Amino acid sequence: MFLHITTVKGVSPNKIIHFQKWILIGGVLLLVIKFGAYWITNSNAVLSDALESIVNVSAAAFALFSLAYSARPKDLNHPYGHGKIEFLSSGIEGFLVVIAGLSISIKGGYNIFFPQEISNIDLGVYITGFAGLANYLMGMAMIRRGKKENSLLLEAGGKHLQTDAYSTIALIVGLMAIYLFNWLWLDSVIALLFGLYIIYEGYRIVRKSLAGIMDEADFDLLEEVVELLEAKRKPSWIDVHNLRVIKYGTKLHVDTHMTIPWYIDVRAAHDVMTEIEDVIREHFGERIELFVHMDPCTASSCSLCSVANCEKREKKFVRKIEWDLDLLLKNQKHRLKEEEEY
């Protein structure tokens, strides 16, 4: 028997989209500021920061499109909704990050051997510092809104902006060293190192997006679900097995099998399923689709079943099995070893 429970809790697509529009506008303004700093200083290090802002703006534009698309309701062609577009958008963002990193690394490496004059480094430090602070604050706002609205795309974008801000700190330190000691070669070295770092970050973004598209198991999320169910488990939840969790944008799909007493009626079984749905919803606080296949208990279940005063019991209760990730992922009912059952 299957039970499908859907619940919606406070996800506001229009608010997310409106928020992302402001992020895009802010990114464009910072892009203009950073290229202004490069025009003033002619610094490769500053240019590397400006080129990464092109990536930020492109990512924000893709994010705006994907958020609008993923907000569409389910239809016959997309029974699970349109949330997967967020992973595609993240993958494109990661690819652009890699391209930017390669461009920065090539230019930085070239100018190590063929250096160029730079100027107005002190002014470049002030402008870059302002842009870095703005990036950090925008990233913080995106992460908070992403967690509130359960949007992987907003959280990923926010973390990327904050990473950009952290790298800006290193950039400022390098620019100050160039200004104080006139180490012009350091400008190209910084650009080269930044380029390699940006390539690595792009790879991580692409890797994560591919994992989402391929429905790769998120073991951290699964572990969190298992710990939650173990902490909140009830006697009627004889066991939970074949557990799977998939994310579709703002939606969390939980698919599992649950062993329950064979003799209860459909209404009581529905109440059991509602209990587990309420536990998951209270913890994760997001839109949930819960698919539960209900399995009847068997004689081998009695030794680990703690249902009190069970008139149908065929074996005495021995002990509860502590639930862990390996146990709940297996597609089989729980049971004790034969020597424990007797």
- The enclosing domain of 193 has a CATH number of 1.20.1510.10
Same domain assignment for residues 181 and 229:
no
Q: Is the domain of 32 the same as that of 151? A: yes
Residues 146 and 83 in one domain: yes
pLDDT of residue 215: 67
Residue 91 has pLDDT above 60, yes or no: yes
Q: Are residues 71 and 165 in the same domain?
A: yes
Lowest-pLDDT choice from 65-69, 87-91, 249-253, 333-337? 249-253
Q: Does the residue 204 lie in any domain?
A: yes
Q: How far apart are CA 328 and CA 240, in angstroms?
A: 6
DSSP string, 169-217: HHHHHHHHHHHHH--HHHHHHHHHHHHHHHHHHHHHHHHHHHHHHTT--
Decide if 5 is inside a domain.
no
Domain carrying residue 284: 219-341
Instruction: Evaluate if residue 264 carries a pLDDT over 60.
Output: yes
For residue 273, the domain's CATH number is 3.30.70.1350
| 4 part of a folded domain | no
pTM of the model: 0.63
Task: Assess whether pLDDT exceeds 90 at residue 261.
Answer: yes
Give me the number of domains the chain comprises: 2
The pLDDT value given to residue 150: 65
Say yes or no: 32 and 165 in one domain: yes
**Lowest mean pLDDT across 58-62, 239-243, 271-275, 319-323:** 58-62
The residue from 183, 213, 243 where one domain ends is: 213
Residues 48 and 92 grouped into a single domain = yes
305 and 329 co-located in one domain? yes
| More confident of the two residues 75 and 33 | 33
Do 93 and 69 lie in one domain? The reply is: yes
Q: What is the pLDDT of residues 155-168, one digit of tens each?
A: 777 887 887 787 78
Q: What is the pLDDT of residue 249?
A: 62
Looking at residue 35, the DSSP 8-state letter turns out to be H
- Report pLDDT digits (tens) over 311-337: 889 888 889 899 999 999 999 999 887
